[in-house]
Amino acid sequence: MKDYILKLRTVLIPFIIINILNVALWLFLYWLFVLTFEIKIVEKYLLMIVLFGSHIPMYIWLWPRIKRLKIKKDKNDKVTSLYYFIT
């Protein structure tokens, strides 16, 4: 079990950090272009870009790390079932 926690920690902590940084970057770009320079962008399109575009680098970073985890297959283990569900 300790091995699973270590493996999940090496994936989840950077995952959360990258997610926070990406959302902060998109909010900064929103502030820069819309509020400062007053570039007219439809709000709903900008909101969709911020919500979905900020997650693309996170998934690009996360996908190879999930593939490298190599967890033993045990049918009763919730961590293993989550791993196989994601991959």
Give CA separation, 26 vs 3, 12, 32, 62, 81, in Å: 35, 21, 10, 19, 33
Answer yes or no: are the C-beta atoms of 69 and 83 closer than 8 Å.
yes
84 or 60: which leads in pLDDT: 60
Cα–Cα distance, 7 to 82 (Å, whole number)? 13
3-class DSSP state for residue 13?
A: helix
Interval 25-50: pLDDT, tens:
878 887 887 777 777 766 677 777 77
Interval 72-83: pLDDT, tens:
565 566 666 666
